[in-house]
Structure 1
Amino acid sequence: MSSVFDAGPWPPCPQDFNLAAHVLAAADRVPDKIALAVVKPTGAQRWSYDRLRSAILGCATGLLDSGLKPGDRLLMRVGNSVEFPVAYLAAIAVGIVPIPTSSQLTLPEVQVLIDMTDPAAMLHDGITACPDTRRVIRTNRMSDWYALPAAAYDLGDPDRLAYIIFTSGTSGTPRAVCHAHRAIWARGMMMEGWYGLTEQDRLMHAGAFNWTYTLGTGLLDPWTRGATALIPAQGVEHAQIPLLLKRHEATIFAAAPGVYRNILKSAGLNLPKLRHGLSAGEKLPASVRDAWQTATGTRVYEAFGMSECSTFISSAPGAPDLPPESLGWPQPGRHIAIVGDTTPVPIGTPGIIAVHRSDPGLMLGYLNQPEATEARYQGDWFLTGDMGEMTESKGILYHGRADDMMNAGGFRVSPLEVEAALMQYPDIHEVGVTDIEIKPDTRIIAAYYVADHPLDEDLLNAFAATRLARYKQPRLYRRIASLPRNANNKLLRRALPDQTPV
């Protein structure tokens, strides 16, 4: 049997469609309900659905009055503030293409993105790094725009371009990922296939407004459902999040694995209203998942995805349990395969996780890079670059990034398997594993760990020997101050050898 999941397609996206109109439709049903609360220990800023829609469509009028027109690109240099999602949806509402960017980028990094996308203007908050090489629209004008007459939605083909986001991909070179209006429709597959999200939920996301994980899971999806989105205000620390979860009666919590790890350092996680947590961004360590369940009595459901297709494999409330190395199941409506050199491999055989090109959530392509776009496909399958294995029950086991896979004496070894084993060592707080070349054509597995003090290497070797086959055991251990991570908190395994030992 081939490693293919296909239980039938998701219902087609309606024609004459607009992403922002779809997200804000709940304002007709529940205009006075709180759509967004920006929370901090001293209070909250609250937006009703009616106020949110009025602000967005007024802002859309302001963008048009400023000279932008449908089809123009608007590069966003806006930090962690409510102006970010308001401007993002305002642009999409009238056919302007927003390009959200990380507030952490430097001037040279931003200029690379400008050269790549050729925006008609840049929306700037006056704080984030922003070159003066394009026309700038300041966010301080937006408060006046909120009271303007509502713009009409720009309705049209759901396959037309809606927004552009950036991914570094496997090469580290930024690529502009083009998404269609239908991308929001495809996120409906995540509602039951991951979130278990209802209109009655209050979902808190621990990320910043301008992170795509927060934008989708933390804002757009709750609004599409008619739920309430809770976002910690800028400056809120991870240690304060349990208080906010309890005080604002959050029923679902979403964060990256590193945030869960930090929150678990807090004493007394008493969260009586919390139903479950959501995790994405990188593989959730089993130790963190289990510790969270012990501390809160609630499960964390994990999802796997990418900038080019959001999430499409996940665990969910009510779904059967799978091993810790599992990602979950393909979401209802998805067409997923594990692909080998030419075709899907047999069940139980590792290969590349792939998404069928018919998936409504799949990107349109990389901007002005048709060759790079087509290189991601093998026939009708979009190759994610991540290794996985499909079980008889159609669950997906994860084996790590294809470019992170290690070669130890001719054996392919997943770093996740080695890291999971070493995380059981009582004095290790965090660990990252990669293979390094010690002489030409000879590579060994090296483990880089974070601990309060140097650990005895003989004891580490003995511990690994009880949990890992010989060829999977590290031959080198190094204590470092912290693991290298990117802006989205993903572990950069190839940067481990560059870290200074402590």
Structure 2
Amino acid sequence: MNLARYCLTNADPNPAKTALEVVGACGERLETWTYGDLTRSVLAVAAGLKAEGFETGDRVLLRIGHSSDFPLLFFGAIAAGLVPVPTSALLTSLETNTILADCGAALVIHDGKTSLPDTGAARFFGPNEIEKLKQAAPAGFAETQADDPAFLIYTSGTSGTPKGVLHAQRSAPARAPMYQGWYGISAEDRLLHAGAFNWTYTLGVGLMDPWANGATSVVYDGPRDPHVWPEILETSKATLFAAVPSLYRRILKYADVSQTSFPDLRHGLTAGEALQAALYHDWKERSGRELYEALGMSEISTYLSSSPGVPVKPGSPGRPQPGRKVAILDEGSEVAQPAAADTPGLLAVHRDEPGLMLGYWNRPDDTSAAFLGDWFLTGDRAREDADGYYWYEGRADDLMNAFGYRVAPEEVERALAAHPSVSEVAVTAVPAGSGVDLITAFVVPAAPDSFSEDELAAFAGERLADYKRPKVYRPVAELPRTPSGKVQRKALRNV
């Protein structure tokens, strides 16, 4: 079992069929990759990496922007038996230092445009080395096993320190419940994903799954203004469109959308943040298309969804996908037992679910703590109605959701607290209307008369990726606390 081989060969596609199109601002084709070309290039990268002396299991930190080089290097590393570590191009040098130190990558591959770690003993490959890898003579796929490591992604831990989530080779075929349980995909589809290549949502939904079904993946490379998307959808002849809810909201606000727009589109797909019922109704009324939501997380991908076969209940992410082992557990019990009917509880996934991570990288205690008996606790709360639909009831912890990325408040607080003008700080997501939450920093200034929000925002910009930075700074005299002195982040919304 090799994840790259599965994705590229599972559907036994015609080598001449288009696997990937990169389209530009007006929908023009910037790059076209057939399955044959794509497979050869992936295997060339794999051979090149092995020829450089890297060994099975070595981690490869990817610092590549929005370029087709990203999937070639990601799948090429897996094809070689190495473990790629995909990262957002938005991360700062300090953030990449943390990840490199934790994962112990033997190699950092970069495009010369992204911030790089400045510590560690890893080798560095830049644009010249990337071209050399792509020109190597292709070899075969590594004969890895189903439970061997495939890739490592970093997500915000509840302590504010990024945690590596290690996935197995089996995680690709384990995505099969999504094929009909969310997408309703076939080999004839053209799936346009709005995200960048380096986002795991794009790697899975935009690349792995279309390719495993012999479909065509379409990825956009151009200005991200919301008004461009109807034209991109129409000219690319996309039949499926995947994005976060906030992008659908912006498209409806800034673009001209009607039921005659993008005639090839069958329906939309959304994940990463909760889809508000009002947005669903607005999209369906304006576009005339269904919008199917899914709920998941880095540790397992999606496992709840609506689909062409599961009618939408606006406000609910849907039902467990066929074959998934999902439960809602009693919050007050020390052993795993189901919550009462229509009662909020802890959303959990059984350890036998093949899509579940192998564990948190080098954190066996954290891995063990994430389970209650045989059930992995997702950190989300939900309830199940009489029709088997799940209703999201928020997080059981303080993790925030920023445009599809989960962000730990502690990580943001730690960065801001290093500024000398900050006496105390607490961070939480505050509703800003229309289903949008903004990361907000509540700051107790060391010297209120001289406190500068702009100066603190610039300081944050040097230490945090854009999606982690507060969008609002609010000076306060004190922070709300429990009798024991713990900051009550949820109470900040009422400050």
Q: TM-score, normalised by structure 2?
A: 0.79
> Take 1:380 and 1:291, find their aligned partners in 2: how far apart are those partners?
41
3-state SS of the aligned residue for 1:29?
coil
- Counterpart for residue 487 of structure 1: 467
- Counterpart for residue 148 of structure 2: 160
The answer on whether the counterparts of 1:73 and 1:99 sit within 8 Å (CA) in structure 2 is yes
- Counterpart for residue 67 of structure 2: 81
**From 76, 86, 90, the counterpart of 2:76:** 90
- Counterpart for residue 55 of structure 1: 41
The 1:429/1:352 distance shift into structure 2, 3 A limit, reads closer
AA matched with 1:109: E
- Counterpart for residue 18 of structure 1: 2
> Take 1:34 and 1:156, find their aligned partners in 2: how far apart are those partners?
27
The 1:430/1:305 distance shift into structure 2, 3 A limit, reads closer
> Take 2:472 and 2:379, find their aligned partners in 1: how far apart are those partners?
15
AA matched with 2:20: L
**From 113, 121, 126, the counterpart of 2:107:** 121
The 1:337/1:27 distance shift into structure 2, 3 A limit, reads closer
The answer on whether the counterparts of 1:80 and 1:234 sit within 8 Å (CA) in structure 2 is no
- Counterpart for residue 315 of structure 1: 306
- Counterpart for residue 463 of structure 1: none
Asked if 1:346 corresponds to 2:340, the answer is yes
Cα offset for 1:132? 4.0
- Counterpart for residue 283 of structure 1: 274
AA matched with 2:319: W
AA matched with 1:336: V
> Take 1:38 and 1:213, find their aligned partners in 2: how far apart are those partners?
17
The answer on whether the counterparts of 2:327 and 2:349 sit within 8 Å (CA) in structure 1 is yes
- Counterpart for residue 423 of structure 2: none
AA matched with 1:301: Y
- Counterpart for residue 21 of structure 2: 37
The answer on whether the counterparts of 1:40 and 1:236 sit within 8 Å (CA) in structure 2 is no
The answer on whether the counterparts of 1:281 and 1:489 sit within 8 Å (CA) in structure 2 is no
Q: TM-score, normalised by structure 1?
A: 0.78
AA matched with 2:294: A
> Take 1:27 and 1:337, find their aligned partners in 2: how far apart are those partners?
32
3-state SS of the aligned residue for 2:67?
coil
Asked if 1:148 corresponds to 2:128, the answer is no
> Take 1:109 and 1:433, find their aligned partners in 2: how far apart are those partners?
21
> Take 2:312 and 2:11, find their aligned partners in 1: how far apart are those partners?
37
The 1:490/1:360 distance shift into structure 2, 3 A limit, reads farther
> Take 1:387 and 1:492, find their aligned partners in 2: how far apart are those partners?
27
> Take 2:315 and 2:439, find their aligned partners in 1: how far apart are those partners?
18
Cα offset for 1:140? 3.5
Which runs of structure 2 are paired with 1:454-469 in the superposition (5 Å)?
none
**Residues 119-171 of structure 1 deviation map (CA, whole Å, 9 limit, x = unaligned):** 11101111101124321012433334334321211123201111100110333
The answer on whether the counterparts of 1:281 and 1:488 sit within 8 Å (CA) in structure 2 is no
AA matched with 1:118: G
- Counterpart for residue 189 of structure 1: 177
**From 285, 291, 314, the counterpart of 1:294:** 285
Cα offset for 1:30? 1.3
The 1:139/1:434 distance shift into structure 2, 3 A limit, reads closer
> Take 1:118 and 1:389, find their aligned partners in 2: how far apart are those partners?
40
AA matched with 1:32: A
AA matched with 1:40: G
The answer on whether the counterparts of 2:317 and 2:391 sit within 8 Å (CA) in structure 1 is yes
- Counterpart for residue 406 of structure 2: none
The 1:490/1:248 distance shift into structure 2, 3 A limit, reads farther
Cα offset for 1:213? 0.3
List alignment gaps of at least 5 residues for structure 1.
1-16, 406-421, 438-483
Aligned CA-pair RMSD: 3.0
- Counterpart for residue 476 of structure 1: none
- Counterpart for residue 257 of structure 2: 268
AA matched with 1:181: Q
- Counterpart for residue 336 of structure 1: 326
List alignment gaps of at least 5 residues for structure 2.
400-430, 443-463, 474-487
The answer on whether the counterparts of 2:155 and 2:298 sit within 8 Å (CA) in structure 1 is yes
Which runs of structure 2 are paired with 1:79-478 in the superposition (5 Å)?
79-133=65-119, 134-264=122-252, 265-269=254-258, 270-322=261-313, 324-340=314-330, 341=333, 342=335, 343-403=337-397, 429=434, 431-432=436-437
3-state SS of the aligned residue for 1:359?
coil
The answer on whether the counterparts of 1:83 and 1:139 sit within 8 Å (CA) in structure 2 is no
The 1:485/1:83 distance shift into structure 2, 3 A limit, reads closer
**Residues 68-106 of structure 1 deviation map (CA, whole Å, 9 limit, x = unaligned):** 121111111111110001100000001011001111111
3-state SS of the aligned residue for 1:21?
helix
> Take 1:349 and 1:112, find their aligned partners in 2: how far apart are those partners?
40
The 1:239/1:260 distance shift into structure 2, 3 A limit, reads same
Cα offset for 1:238? 2.6
Cα offset for 1:492? 11
The answer on whether the counterparts of 1:71 and 1:96 sit within 8 Å (CA) in structure 2 is yes
The answer on whether the counterparts of 1:27 and 1:49 sit within 8 Å (CA) in structure 2 is no
Cα offset for 1:299? 0.7
> Take 1:93 and 1:150, find their aligned partners in 2: how far apart are those partners?
11
3-state SS of the aligned residue for 2:388?
coil
The answer on whether the counterparts of 1:256 and 1:489 sit within 8 Å (CA) in structure 2 is no
> Take 1:255 and 1:392, find their aligned partners in 2: how far apart are those partners?
29
